[in-house]
Amino acid sequence: MFLKFVLTLMALLKSGVHGQMVQMDSSKSGFVGSQVELRCQFVNSNPPVKISQVTWQKVVNGTKQNVAIANPALGVSVLQPFKERVRFKNPAVRQRTPSLEDTTVIFNKLRLSDESAYICEYTTFPAGNRENMVNLTVYARPMIQMSLSTPSIVAGSKDLKMTVATCVSANGKPPSVITWETSLDGESKTQEIRNPDGTVTVRSDYLVVPSRDIHQQVLTCVSTYNEEPYTDSVTLNIQYEPEVIIEGFDGNWYLNRENVQLTCLADANPPISLFQWRYLNGSLPSSAELRDDVLIFKGPVTYDIAGTYVCDATNSIGTGSASVEVTVTEFSSSPHEMSQKQQQAGIVIGGAVVCGTVLLAAITLLIVFLYRRRCMFKGDYSTKKQILGNGYSKAGSLQPHASLPHSLTFSEDSDEEKKLGLYRGSSILGGSAHEFHNYRDSRMKTFHTGLSQDNVTCGCNEQTYVYEYGSEVEVSVDMVPQMDGSVISKEEWYV
């Protein structure tokens, strides 16, 4: 930097004193393998000076090394090791014309070794030399690579962190910055290694406790170079011994149940190579059939299959085991099956209840029917009062009257008076009430009635019948006529 400052100051002093100046960029940059232009232009005075030669030089360890020369008489010359990669941009320079005011050069296929300070020097007559300088920086994109520490990482029994993945940003200039994107609870360790060519290799290791929980987890490395992020990812491959469980026993194995089995499930990496079943109560039951990871019980369930079963699963890392205690009950404890049985029992009980109810109703109706028939006449025949001598009176010459029907039907809202009136005066008696009372009987002296031929309802409170024997019978509305000609009080007749 100090050399650059001195050379720039000298060029400014020269141009300021004599009026000529060399114009250049202060710095330029490019990536390895790319192309870059280094500008150099000469500002002449009036009258112009004569340009004798232009020389490009590289500053190496404080000394100048010629790169390219342009001479109006001798032409263009590019020296090694730039001969195949450096050329003058202006065609007039290459054609040996006296126009050398623009001597910009182009670098192709940049190398890290091209990085340096370059001087563009003009030789004039009679003014002397005029020059300026540019700093060229060459960048190198790193090679980013991410890898697992080993193809297969074995889960450890101790909580010791180990490197599971490594991210490398190699031969970068400037060096990269590496970060990690992951949900794992780990840590990273990063170091920088400076290479002889001026590049830097950055290495970052990610450390975590290997376990089955992080198997198939993704680790992403983010390498940021020149403010540009580059990402690479790997999937962890953690090997671990089997973790085993047994499925199939639901706690409801009962007698005569069909199609029961036990299944051995194992979580392992690498996969299981061998399954083995054991019966801690002795030899496996004769109904048990082994099919790799499944133990099938043929036929209906019996008490013989009860006991403890163990499944051993083995892979290249180790062996894992699990056990299950099988119990056999007489009946099912499944709510669904019990519900079906309850429904069946409910149907039987419901049918019995319905049949019992119907039978009870029939018995009740029969009893009521018999009881009502029995109670049609509640009293004693000695309580009957004879008004006609055709039944229980002494024999006489009276002709029997028309017989009554065996039963009379009345609506429920008929009162007793209407029923009595029908007994007394309706045509059921074989004629009107008037005809009945006008029937002449030698034993009947006098007959008084309040019934008319057209009136079927009793219109008086009491009727009186006088027999020839001198006795008089009082018949009130509370009396019910009988088929034998007698009357009985309502209290004796109805229930």
Domain 260-329 classification at class level: mainly beta
What is the pTM for the complete model shown?
A: 0.55
Q: Whose CA is closest to 140, among 194, 196, 198, 84?
A: 198
Q: Picking from 3-12, 154-163, 173-182, 428-437, which range would have the lowest pLDDT averaged per residue? A: 428-437
3-class SS at 405?
A: coil
Average pLDDT over residues 299-318: 95
Average pLDDT over residues 138-164: 88
Question: 3-state DSSP helix/strand/coil percent for the chain, to nearest 5?
Answer: 20, 40, 40
Average pLDDT over residues 182-195: 94
CA 106/CA 92 separation, integer angstroms: 15
Q: Is the pLDDT of residue 390 over 50?
A: no
Stronger pLDDT, 381 or 355, i.e. the higher one: 355
Contact 221, 178 (CB under 8 A): yes
**pLDDT digit string (tens) for 193-217?**
999 989 999 999 999 999 999 999 9
Number of H helices, E strands in the chain: 6, 34
**Percentage with pLDDT > 90 across the chain:** 49
The CATH code of the domain at 143-236 is: 2.60.40.10
The CATH code of the domain at 2-139 is: 2.60.40.10
Residue-level pLDDT at 298: 93
Query: 181: which 2 tokens?
Result: 């994107």
Q: Picking from 40-49, 184-193, 201-210, which range would have the lowest pLDDT averaged per residue? A: 40-49
Residue-level pLDDT at 405: 44
**Percentage with pLDDT > 70 across the chain:** 66
Q: Picking from 288-292, 363-367, 397-401, 448-452, which range would have the lowest pLDDT averaged per residue? A: 448-452
Contact 233, 219 (CB under 8 A): yes
Residue-level pLDDT at 479: 65
Hey, do 2-139 and 143-236 end up sharing a CATH topology, with the first three levels equal?
yes
All structural domains of the chain with their residue ranges:
2-139, 143-236, 260-329, 334-374, 381-493
Residue-level pLDDT at 361: 82
Stronger pLDDT, 32 or 15, i.e. the higher one: 32
Average pLDDT over residues 289-307: 94
Q: Is the pLDDT of residue 338 over 50?
A: yes
Q: Whose CA is closest to 383, among 488, 471, 494?
A: 488
Could you tell me whether strands 274-279 and 307-314 are parallel, antiparallel, or unpaired per DSSP bridges?
antiparallel
Q: Picking from 237-251, 317-331, 384-398, which range would have the lowest pLDDT averaged per residue? A: 384-398
Q: How confident is the model at residue 340 (pLDDT cuts 50, 70, 90)?
A: low
**pLDDT digit string (tens) for 72-94?**
888 899 998 899 999 999 887 76
Residue-level pLDDT at 467: 40
Residue-level pLDDT at 82: 92
Residue-level pLDDT at 43: 85
Residue-level pLDDT at 411: 44
Q: Is the pLDDT of residue 125 over 90?
A: no
Residue-level pLDDT at 486: 64
Query: Tokens 């062996």 label which residue?
Result: 319
- Our CA dihedral for 55, 58, 62, 63, rounded to 10 degrees, sits at -50
Residue-level pLDDT at 51: 87
Residue-level pLDDT at 31: 94
Q: How confident is the model at residue 346 (pLDDT cuts 50, 70, 90)?
A: low
3-class SS at 279?
A: strand
Query: Tokens 């790319």 label which residue?
Result: 34
